[in-house]
Amino acid sequence: MACPALVRRSKCNAQPCPTDCVLSAYSDYGECSKSCGGGSQSRTRSISVDVAFGGMACASLTQKKGCNEQPCPANCRVSQWALWSHCSRTCSAGFQARTRVVKSEAKFGGKKCPKLTMTQACNNGPCPVHCDVSPFGEWSECTLSCGTGSQTRSRTVVSTAKNGGYVCPFLSESRLCRTRACPVDCVVAAYSKWSACSQSCGTGYQSRTRKITTRRQQMGKACPALKQSKKCNLQSCPEDCTLSAFGDWTTCSKTCGGGSQTRTRSVTRESAYGGAKCATLSNSRACNSFACPIDCTVSKWERWSICSNSCGGGIQSRSRTVSMEFSHGGKSCPHLAESQACKEEVSCPVDCVVSTFGPYTECSKTCGEGQQTRQRQITTTPLHGGKACPALEQSSKCNVDKCPVDCELGAWKEWTGCAVKCGGGLKTRRRPVLRKAEHGGKACAARKETNECNAQGCGCTHVYCVVQPGTRHIKVMHHRLERGGRKHRCKYNYGTQNCECMCYNDVKLPFQAA
């Protein structure tokens, strides 16, 4: 018998050699997570060759950076509307208003504040109409000719009350009549003593009175006179002599150096009834005791001054100066200044006066800059060259905020290639922004879409299996990189009588925005 084999061979170090991770280039940065106030955007890369058997591990697949750091627009914030004011009228058509206040102003291009005042029509129903009645008619005849009787009078309704107006008052009334007793004649007391005379002479008057003790009633006899007067002190009063005023002094007997002159007066009424006698009727005095007179001389008048007012009438004046003062009784200086009304009277200009502006009209546009106007009236028309009226209409821009613009997206681009050839990967597609959302318009929908691809299993690089000798049991050998997330499935193949493993990527689809 021949010898059996002297050498037996067995496999060793059957595990594959280390494979380093190989990554693709980064994709473009995605859209910023915020349009303002500081957001972030990221880009990714995929694994072209995965690490295996102790090779160099993959670096980060995602890279981020900050974006849109500018402050976000802050819109104007206003309070809630206050309660409506009372209606301007308690009945019929009126108006009422309400207001609100600014809590915070708009910043960084935010929406400007809306209107702070609002008015609306109000109507508290028709106004009350009060009942209107005619005047009372004449009183009827008394039911009795004397003693206590009664009489009535009435009135009619001209218009009835409506809408809560005052109801009609009573339409008839009565009263007592002839309730007095039978006629009572007036009775008076005796006269009082005569009063003192109003004058001590020249005829005066004195009087006396009496009082009513019983008043006339019910058509009794009327009262006689209650006052009586008479003349007194009829004698004439003493009359003093009265004289006229002194006449002018006579011409001085000398023109200068001392002379004399006289003046006289006459009796206008002789004294009578013991009155005072007349005083002397003439007197005299020294005159011209001074040196011979030097008369005052003056210059010619200056030209008239400019009128004190430029319009509406005024005064202008002129003057002259003393060339030589008078002395020793010479002629005194005449007046040195005089004034007169201006000859030409010009009416003063009247400037135009206008009222305050009324409220603005409604804005012509709700956004994108409209126009609104307000007007005022002329209360005083300009006259005589006065200031002309300013503009009676004023316009202002309104609703200057730009109109909202919704985001508009283009069509989807083609799907990208799958990141892996087997074991489950991801593919993406994008669509461009044709027009960005502005001024509060609708924001853009998702611009990126991701889907699964190449879900079939791959040959494993980090897991392998061996068959236990003499059995169909297999033993799976795990590399430490399996903890990185790869899935595997190993089984015994009865055809080849060997074991085999298939591996799959742990793929998770990202959240798909609506």
Query: How many structural domains does the chain have?
Result: 4
CA 160 – CA 167 distance, rounded (Å): 8
One domain, residues 54 and 100: no
The confidence band for 513, taking pLDDT boundaries of 50, 70 and 90, is very low
Q: Residue 430: give its domain's CATH number.
A: 2.20.100.10
Residue type, 152: T
The confidence band for 483, taking pLDDT boundaries of 50, 70 and 90, is very low
HSE, CB side, 13 Å, CA atoms: give it for residue 186. 14
Q: What is the pLDDT of residues 228-240, one digit of tens each?
A: 898 898 888 888 8
Q: Is residue 464 part of a domain?
A: yes
> Is the pLDDT assigned to residue 150 strictly greater than 90?
no
Q: What is the model's pLDDT at position 479?
A: 64
Q: Is residue 435 part of a domain?
A: yes
CA 374 – CA 378 distance, rounded (Å): 14
One domain, residues 437 and 480: no
CA 22 – CA 189 distance, rounded (Å): 148
Q: What is the model's pLDDT at position 459?
A: 66
CA 359 – CA 118 distance, rounded (Å): 12
Q: What is the pLDDT of residues 409-450, one digit of tens each?
A: 889 889 888 877 777 788 899 999 888 888 888 888 888 888
Q: Is residue 34 part of a domain?
A: yes
Residue type, 231: K
Q: Is residue 258 part of a domain?
A: no
Percent of the chain clearing pLDDT 70 (strictly above): 93
Q: What is the pLDDT of residues 323-332, one digit of tens each?
A: 888 887 778 8
Residue 63 lies in domain: 17-72
Given 439, 454, 469, the domain boundary residue is 454
Tokens of 14: 């059957």
Q: What is the pLDDT of residues 38-54, one digit of tens each?
A: 889 999 998 888 888 88
Tokens of 116: 């702070």
Average the pLDDT over 170-179 and give the result: 83
Give the residues across from 383 on adjacent strands.
350
The confidence band for 359, taking pLDDT boundaries of 50, 70 and 90, is very high
Lowest mean pLDDT among 69-78, 257-266, 375-384, 478-487: 478-487
The DSSP line for 60-125 is -SEEEEEE--SPPPB--EEPPPPPPPPPSSSSSEEEEEEE--EEE--BTTPPPP--SEEEEEEE--
Q: Is residue 430 part of a domain?
A: yes
Say if residues 102 and 76 touch (Cβ distance below 8 Å): yes
Q: What is the model's pLDDT at position 210?
A: 92
Tokens 């007012």 map to which residue? 309
Tokens of 12: 């060793």
Residue type, 426: L
> Is the pLDDT assigned to residue 472 strictly greater than 50?
yes
Q: Is residue 473 part of a domain?
A: yes
Give the residues across from 435 on adjacent strands.
408
Q: Is residue 203 part of a domain?
A: no
> Is the pLDDT assigned to residue 312 strictly greater than 80?
no
User: To 10 degrees, the CA torsion angle through 177, 181, 184, 187?
Assistant: -110
Residue type, 374: R
Q: How many residues does the chain have?
A: 514
Average the pLDDT over 166-187 and give the result: 81
**DSSP SS3 for 482:** helix
Buried residues in 106-125 as b, exposed as e (16+ CB within 10 A): beebbeebeeeeeeeebeee
Backbone angles phi and psi of 483, in degrees to 5: -65, -10
Lowest mean pLDDT among 116-120, 204-208, 399-403, 453-457: 453-457
One domain, residues 424 and 438: yes
CA 28 – CA 431 distance, rounded (Å): 14
For 14, 132, 155, 458, the CA distances from 465, given in Å and listed in that order, are 11, 117, 127, 15
Q: What is the model's pLDDT at position 484?
A: 42
Quickly count: other Cβ atoms within 10 Å of residue 156's Cβ. Answer: 10
**DSSP SS3 for 245:** coil
CA 10 – CA 200 distance, rounded (Å): 180
Tokens of 461: 């690089």
Average the pLDDT over 382-409 and give the result: 87
Q: Is residue 84 part of a domain?
A: yes
Q: Return mean pLDDT, the chain.
A: 84
Q: What is the model's pLDDT at position 180?
A: 63
Say if residues 193 and 155 touch (Cβ distance below 8 Å): no
CA 88 – CA 223 distance, rounded (Å): 63
